[in-house]
Amino acid sequence: MAPLDGHRIVVGVAGGIASYKAVELCRRLVDAGAFVSPVLTAGAQRFVTATTFSAVASEAARTSLWDSPEVSPHTVLGQGADLVVVAPATARVLAAYAVGLADDLLVTTLLATRAPVVLCPAMHTEMWEQPAVQANLSTLRQRGAHVVGPDDGSLAGGDSGPGRLAEPEEIVRACVDILNGAGAGGRPDDLAGLDVLVTAGGTREPLDPVRFLGNRSSGRQGHAVAAEAAARGARVTLVTASDRHLPEGIDLVPVATAEEMHSAVLSRCRQADIVVMAAAVADFRPKQASLVKLHRSEGVPDLVLEPTPDILAAVVAGRRPGQTVVGFAAEWGDVGAGAVEKLRRTRVDLLVANDVSAEGVGFEHETNAVTILSAAMELNVGPVDKRLVAGAVLDAVVAHRRQEQGCP
């Protein structure tokens, strides 16, 4: 069952350069099982078209109070919604919503709903920092609106600073948490006080100073696990071979090779309560890398490979009582048989397996489909956004730890 199955979500899109990201948000919400109804303001249509949203959402996009078959489209949308998301929420929409100015379909729908409302502000830094904007947002927060973002990063026109729309996966996760009753804070704090070590990315084993043996791992899944663990209250250390955006507060340890990851993990894993080995570590490396760039004119080099350190085996061999170890298995074809065997052989507490031969998920994609295994359970998740997979993995970790501790 997808995490948003059965839920109706209105996605309001206001007029800002970040409007294009709302297309991806709609797609991800639909992938998570939601029935999505897009509502575009006149300003939004200056940046994106209603046709685009109609193609990715669950029904045709709406743009006006006056072009709908219903007499009162705002009440139909507002009363039927389980959640209303506004992304981007511009300064104008925040102001209109705060004072009750029902001058278009989006704000009228916001005023006509009793469903939870998620506001995702996006605007230039100078606008975001205006006292009027902050006062309107404070008013809406006091009335119960949930606020996601904005992020600090690249903005239109080459500027950088606070005001960037939150990433679609973060908004989707907030929607899941709110609809699943995680509360106004958006996420459960079930990892509060715990130390979590996560590995991510594909290692690069050098052939010479400019070439390497690698794999197609983007690091998205491991980074999603780290971000989700931090959002749920954990102290997170991420050992990664990928260069990707991370939320603040995560201890980042960049590495490149399997040997570097082996050293970084073993020096830190003993103090971790939970170790999630999501990295795609190379199984082999050149036995002798060239110290200078190899040239075509010199012919094909004699390439001798040797195995890299088995980091997961080392973690399991040295784990302390009460520590939970999660392994990842990138299988080709028959996930079930290979995953069950790896669970038995590695002696991890949980194993997350996915078929990297499947199209549209896994390596180099933003979605994943996995099977989470333990001695007591088997759970299929996806295909959904990798942040939602991360949440399911950590849910399984929490359930396993409670069972181990004898908690109901």
- The sign of the CA dihedral 95, 96, 97, 101 is positive
Return phi, psi of residue 314, to 5°: -65, -40
Q: Copy the structure tokens of residue 317.
A: 């061999």
Contacts of residues 334-338 at CB distance under 8 Å and 24 or more positions apart, as own/partner, are: 335/371, 336/371
Inter-residue contact 303 to 287 (CB < 8 Å): no
Kindly tell me the burial class for residue 304, based on how many C-beta atoms sit within 10 Å of its own C-beta (0-12, 13-18, 19 or more). exposed
First to last CA, the chain: 23
The one-letter amino acid code at 278 reads: A
Collect all residues with Cβ–Cβ distance below 8 Å to 55 and sequence separation of at least 6: none
Catalytic pick from 136, 180, 215, 380?
215
How many residues in total does the chain contain?
A: 408
Strand 367-373 to 350-355 pairing: antiparallel
Q: Copy the structure tokens of residue 326.
A: 């999660």
Would you call 215 a catalytic residue per the annotation? yes
Task: Enumerate the active-site residues.
Answer: 215
